[in-house]
Homo-oligomer: A and B are copies of this chain.
């Protein structure tokens, strides 16, 4: 599939973005050489429709979006690109293309989302900023939504520490909302990325934000909620995280203000208590030397025999490793990504992999 077709997948008339994304994921293996076609996706999502005219409209729209992207400095990152966030590939409905302003390579790093109330209290602002700073200091990319309040504080904290932060928008990456965050967005682009599944110029419509939330959690290995009332949009992101098998964590706060009712309900449901960034790293199994139990898309992986079968100091290409560990390449790659994100596998020049030095 070429780039224009991938972009066109999100522009098929009468087919929602996540619907098309899920159909595309179900039909393809992202190897880049997959024979899936736009017509196949239309056949699944709109069985009543004649595919050709639907596809034609989408392809025209895609050409226009790609042209806009070129003009405005927005890079389309297709799902088969090495820069595409590896964890995002594992969700049910990964966008076929992410539109990126800034450093697309920032998306591949190990990442944690820090999100929370737009009408944040000074307490929440301070906590979000501190967590953003502490995570960045520990080399973790801080993902958030560029919203007022806790989101912006988390981005700012990461930037203060000289770290990497990623803003996932509910509009095109060139449409900054709220507009007072223009400077912040420019700063994020310099030290990370502003991304969206929506193409250049897309307006921040209310219906975009719940869908955007699945990407905030999808890019991240865990989601930390800082101050959420019982109606907060952060709870949508937390639910996405749970569905995607990611860790949900929450920062406790006052029980008197009503401002933390949502975060406390997450804690009651088993979310991990976060006081500091160390709690987050520990919750994700990054703090200790040994990999803790981790979950990807609901499947538990405790210490993987894949790691045990590799010889320390030796680099393998995909086929060699497949033979060594006794797994098909398609089964092995997601597990490699999983362990790479946790620092147990290192990617070497020439597409080779090795056990990371610290093992």
3 closest Cβ contacts across the A-B interface?
A252-B252, A255-B275, A267-B273
Contacts of A256 in B (CB 8 A): 123, 126-127, 130
A98 at the interface (CB under 8 A from B): no
A203 at the interface (CB under 8 A from B): no
Are A254 and B255 in contact (CB-based, < 8 A)?
Answer: no
Alpha-carbon distance between A252 and B126 when the two chains are bound, in angstroms? 17
Are A255 and B267 in contact (CB-based, < 8 A)?
Answer: no
Alpha-carbon distance between A130 and B123 when the two chains are bound, in angstroms? 22
Are A123 and B254 in contact (CB-based, < 8 A)?
Answer: yes
CB distance from A193 to the nearest CB of B (A): 29
Contact of A276 among B253, B255, B275 (CB under 8 A): B255
Contact of A254 among B130, B253, B276 (CB under 8 A): B253
Are B275 and A127 in contact (CB-based, < 8 A)?
Answer: no
CB distance from A134 to the nearest CB of B (A): 12
A272 at the interface (CB under 8 A from B): yes
Alpha-carbon distance between A157 and B130 when the two chains are bound, in angstroms? 36
Q: What would 16 more interface pairs be, CB under 8 Å, given A252-B273, A253-B253, A255-B276?
A: A123-B256, A127-B255, A251-B255, A252-B255, A252-B260, A252-B264, A253-B254, A254-B254, A255-B275, A261-B275, A264-B275, A267-B267, A267-B273, A268-B272, A268-B273, A268-B279
CB distance from A352 to the nearest CB of B (A): 40
